[in-house]
Chains A and B, each alone.
Chain A
Amino acid sequence: MLEITDLSARVAGKDILRGINLKVNAGEIHAIMGPNGSGKSTLAQVLAGREDYEVTGGSVIFDGRDLFALRAEERARAGLFLGFQYPVEIPGVNNVYLLKAALNAKRKAAGEPEVDAYDFLALIRQKMKFMQMSESFLTRGVNEGFSGGEKKRNEVLQMLVLEPRLAILDETDSGLDIDALKIVSKGVNSLRDAKRAVVLVTHYQRLLDYVTPDHVHVLSAGRIVKSGDKSLAHELERRGYDWVVESRVA
């Protein structure tokens, strides 16, 4: 589904990604871990199409298409979803209104009819119940005055409504208490099926207690320096990152 080959990228003149190779198949969950500044978030932003990031080499194929030939909104409509590390507030724009516009943009691109307000409300109510969110989310502005945990939960809600082919979740677990972490994990697990894939970008292995990854990768200085199964995450938890990074240098 996603094939990243020798991807390099820079931001503000600084090389951040220095040759990433990664293959994600449908049905898989990958966890990308690594110390701060290793390029995890940059990878997520580059895949989503953020303009400030300059791709300096390599290629990414998404569902058989050249990802870099698509604009950010086209990638989204093609089924690539980014759960933001810091979801932005958009004052005055209703949370549900934005989500409905997003869903309809996607449906329109797929040649499907738009959902009407009634059906949409039924859909979002159902998903909100699943995510244990209060009705007040229906009337509030996008992330406006949300706590950190509410914002993350809102990201997962959006993901569930948009049903992406590939979800990249950028530290969706950070800043969550244990109950919120369980709910967010439940949301991610519910999306798990043979047609979809999830890439979890995370600093800690805590989330991986609830969402079991098929593959775990360690990113350091812009490269994947080690890959393994979920036991790698446990080892990282126990030993930290230094041994991976150092063993590679040695």
Chain B
Amino acid sequence: MQTLVGAKYRHGFITDIESDSLPPGLDEDVVKAISRKKNEPQFLLDWRLKAFRHWQTMREPAWAHVHYKPIDYQEISYYSAPRPPANAPKSIDEVDPKLLATYEKLGIPLHERARLAGVAVDAVFDSVSVATTFKDKLGKAGVIFCSFSDAVRDHPRLVERYLGTVVPAGDNFFAALNSAVFSDGSFVYVPPGVRCPMELSTYFRINAAKTGQFERTLIIAAEGASVSYLEGCTAPMRDENQLHAAVVELVALDNAQIKYSTVQNWYPGDENGVGGIFNFVTKRGECRGRNSKISWTQVETGSAITWKYPSCVLKGENSIGEFYSVAVANNYQQADTGSKMIHIGRNTKSTIISKGISAGHAANTYRGLVKMLPSAGGARNFTQCDSLLLGAQCSAQTFPYMEVKNPTATVEHEASTSKIGEDQLFYCLQRGISAEDAVNMIVSGFCKVVFKELPMEFAVEAQNLLSVSLEGAVG
């Protein structure tokens, strides 16, 4: 088995569109300018400024197993929107055809007559949301699904009530930066007792050069509500690294369920490690109510650097947190990802299944924390971390942290690291199956338990993405 050649990135094109951008640089005026552009209420500006002042006192974290040149935060533009942004399109027909074509090319048709059946999409292009489909149909069910900016304008009380309650503005360096300068994102509110009638999805696209993307997603499932949400991400191929620092907050009240799935395919850089997205993301869900459940499923194939730990704070009695992850790192990609499960309530339960795949010169790290507080009587966790290595130059590491402060809580951990066996590969070859197909088969077998957690349509997409990411991984 040989080491790989570069995988092909299919979403690397640039849309030539006029944009309204702020010049690079970051100070209080920039924060104010962003807030002004979006006509935000005072509470939000105050919140941003507080976050910004806090951020200035913070240091970039250095504990992750990733290496990169220092980021110059004054070189980044913190706002970019396709022109004309002032009057957001009222309907999909008013959206710039170039943008529609972009999403078409990405396989996300925004035209409702051509859309993926039963999936409502919010498309975020650089800093702003350009279109949200199916608003009316969702509205009839009482579900609010809109861009974050629209939510601030139309539902300021909901935003004020929940924003920052799961990931506080000063939570960590990147979350604080996001809180200060976030420009858009998605907002979901599912009212009590409502099962959201369709899959919700947000599609994030970075287009403009030298910009960062700082989106913020807030999802609230009220008592007895349930919702399934998926995000997808792509970016053009550029030589410089671009920063993506997002925050996602989920709130599940009594008996509510949120299923959050991610297919992350930001540009990973080329086969020599030039360019690519720096993906520093804070994702956290709070099972605030009894019997609530939050489930994270992620398929991470893109980004030069991935730094994210989707987590669950299990406050409500009997609440459940789940994390299913496939992280692929090829060429010079670096992934440091995992999950935190914080057990506060009695009889809370969590499951972590992490599958890391490394190829080329990539480094793939699982980092997780399972914490059982004294109040978490009868709480249970099961963690399983498996790593698969393709070739001899890649690496995989596992850092499982556990803090158990209640004697009735149980924590189980299983871990394995395997090379794609020469034996497995030869077995397939001897049956007449090509090396490429054999690797795909072995890898998808390895990931099966995670893929089956994804909504059907996306499981197929994830599977394809995986084959593309590992294309040429075996010679």
Contacts and interface: CB of A to CB of B under 8 A. Distances in A.
B354 to A, nearest CB: 15
Interface residues on B, range: 20 to 34
B424 A76 contact: no
B46 interface: no
Given A92-B444, A92-B447, A105 B432 contact: yes
A91 B437 contact: no
Output the residue of A98, A106, A109 with the most chain B CB within 10 A. Answer: A98
A84 interface: yes
B153 interface: no
Given A52-B422, A73-B433, A98 B448 contact: no
A101 B437 CA distance: 9
Contact of A48 (B430, B433, B446, B448): B430
Contacts of B448: 92
A72 B448 CA distance: 27
A102 B428 CA distance: 8
A141 interface: yes
Interface residues of A, number: 32
Given A90-B445, A93-B441, A93-B442, A102 B427 contact: no
Nearest to A73: B429
B432 A98 contact: no
Given A50-B426, A88-B421, A91-B446, A73 B441 contact: no
A73 B432 contact: yes
A37 B448 CA distance: 39
Contact of A162 (B426, B431, B437, B445): B431
Contact of A77 (B432, B435, B445): B432
A90 B427 contact: yes
B302 to A, nearest CB: 23
Interface in A63-79: 71-73, 75-77
B464 interface: no
Output the residue of A48, A52, A76 with the most chain B CB within 10 A. Answer: A76
Given A73-B433, A88-B423, A105-B434, A98 B428 contact: yes
A213 interface: no
B432 A106 contact: yes
Contacts of B433: 73, 98, 101-102, 105
Interface string A101-124: 110011001000000000000000
A77 B423 CA distance: 19
A163 to B, nearest CB: 12
Interface of B: 421-424, 426-435, 437, 441-442, 444-449
Which 5 pairs, one residue from A and one from B, show the smallest C-beta to C-beta distance? A92-B445, A93-B445, A102-B431, A76-B432, A92-B448
28 contacts: A49-B429, A49-B430, A50-B426, A51-B422, A72-B429, A73-B429, A75-B430, A76-B429, A76-B430, A77-B432, A81-B430, A90-B427, A90-B428, A90-B441, A92-B445, A92-B446, A93-B441, A98-B431, A101-B433, A102-B431, A102-B432, A102-B433, A105-B432, A105-B434, A105-B437, A141-B445, A142-B445, A162-B432
Interface of A: 48-52, 71-73, 75-77, 81-82, 84, 87-88, 90-93, 97-99, 101-102, 105-106, 109, 141-142, 158, 162
